[in-house]
Chain A
Amino acid sequence: MGRSPSDLAVFIGKRLVQLVPVLFGIIVLTFVFTHISVTNCAVWFPHASKSTLANCQAQFSKPIVDQFWIYFVNLLHGDWGASVAGSPVYPAIAAGLPATLELVFASLFLMIVVGIPLGVIAAQSAGRWGDHLVRIFYLTGWATPTYLGAVIAAIFLAPYFGLPSHGEYTSSPPPFPQYTHMSVLDALLAGNLPWAVDAFKHLLLPAAVLAFINMGIATRMTRSSMLEVIPLDYVKSARMKGLSEFWVMYKHALRNSLITTTTVLGVTAGGLLAGTVVIEEVFGWPGIGAYAYTAIGGGGAAPNFDGAVAVVAVFAVGVVIANLIADILYGLLDPRVDWR
Chain B
Amino acid sequence: MTDAVVAIDNLSIDYVVGAGRFRAVSEVTLEVPRGHVVGIVGETGCGKSTLAQAIPRLLPEPPATIGGGRILFEGTDLVQIPRWKMPAIRGTGINMIFQEPLNSLNPAFRIYDQVAEAVRIRKLRESGAVAVRRNEPPGPFDYSRRPNPTASDAWSGKIVPGGAVQEAVHRREVDRRAGGDRAALEKDVLDYLRLVRINDPETILNLYPHELSGGMRQRIMIAMALSEKPSLLIADEPTSALDVTIQAQVLTLMKELIEEVNTSILFISHDLGVIAETADELGVMYAGKLVEFGPVGDVFSSPRHPYTKALLRAAPTRYKSDGPLTSIPGNVPNLSHPPSGCRFHPRCPIARPVCKVDPSPPLLAVEGAAANHRSACHFAKEVPGIP
Contacts and interface: CB of A to CB of B under 8 A. Distances in A.
Task: Consider the complex of A and B and state whether they touch directly, i.e. have CB atoms less than 8 Å apart.
Answer: yes
B262 interface: no
B106 A252 contact: yes
Task: State the main secondary structure of chain A at its contact with B.
Answer: helix
Nearest to B104: A233
A236 B210 contact: no
A227 B348 CA distance: 43
A241 B121 contact: yes
B179 to A, nearest CB: 13
B84 interface: yes
Contacts of A233: 98-100, 103-104
B50 to A, nearest CB: 13
A242 B106 contact: no
A256 interface: yes
A48 interface: no
A159 B210 CA distance: 55
A234 B217 CA distance: 12
A243 B87 contact: yes
A245 B105 contact: no
Max chain A Cβ within 10 angstroms of own Cβ: one of B87, B89, B208: B87
Contacts of B53: 236
Interface in B91-145: 91-92, 94-96, 98-100, 103-109, 117-118, 121, 125
Contact of B228 (A1, A239, A241, A334): A241
B108 A244 contact: no
Interface string B64-103: 0000000000000000000010011111101110111001
A241 B109 CA distance: 15
Interface in A200-249: 232-234, 236-245
Interface residues of B, number: 35
A259 B56 CA distance: 30
Contacts of B100: 233
A240 B91 contact: yes
Given A233-B98, A336-B210, A241 B91 contact: yes
B210 A242 contact: no
Contacts of B224: 237, 241
A92 B187 CA distance: 62
Nearest to B108: A255
Nearest to A235: B106
B121 A242 contact: yes
Given A245-B87, A335-B210, A336-B208, A234 B103 contact: yes
B41 interface: no
B159 to A, nearest CB: 19
B260 interface: no
Interface in A1-54: 1
Contacts of A335: 107-108, 208, 210
B103 A242 contact: no
A77 interface: no
Contacts of B92: 242
A236 B58 contact: yes
A234 B58 contact: no
Contacts of A242: 87-92, 121, 125, 228
A270 B91 CA distance: 46
Nearest to A247: B87
Nearest to A244: B87
A237 B88 CA distance: 15
Given A233-B99, A336-B210, A239 B58 contact: yes
A232 B103 CA distance: 6
Contacts of A232: 103
Contacts of A239: 58, 87, 90
Interface string B215-239: 0000001001100100000000000
B105 A234 contact: yes
B211 interface: yes
Interface string A304-340: 0000000000000000000000000000011110000
B277 to A, nearest CB: 24
Given A236-B58, A236-B98, A241 B117 contact: yes
Contacts of A259: 108
Contacts of A238: 106
Interface string B289-326: 00000000000000000000000000000000000000
A252 to B, nearest CB: 6
A62 interface: no
A305 B94 CA distance: 71
Contacts of B99: 233
B108 A333 contact: yes
B162 interface: no
Nearest to B101: A233
Contacts of B95: 240-241
A260 to B, nearest CB: 12
Listed from nearest, the 8 A-B pairs whose CB atoms lie closest are: A242-B91, A233-B103, A335-B208, A234-B106, A242-B90, A240-B96, A233-B98, A233-B104
Given A238-B106, A256-B108, 12 more contacts: A233-B104, A236-B53, A240-B90, A241-B95, A242-B87, A242-B91, A242-B228, A244-B87, A255-B106, A335-B108, A335-B208, A336-B208
18 contacts: A128-B62, A233-B98, A233-B104, A234-B106, A236-B98, A237-B98, A237-B105, A237-B106, A239-B87, A241-B228, A242-B87, A243-B91, A244-B87, A255-B108, A256-B106, A256-B107, A335-B208, A336-B208
Interface of B: 53, 56, 58, 62, 84, 87-92, 94-96, 98-100, 103-109, 117-118, 121, 125, 208, 210-211, 221, 224-225, 228
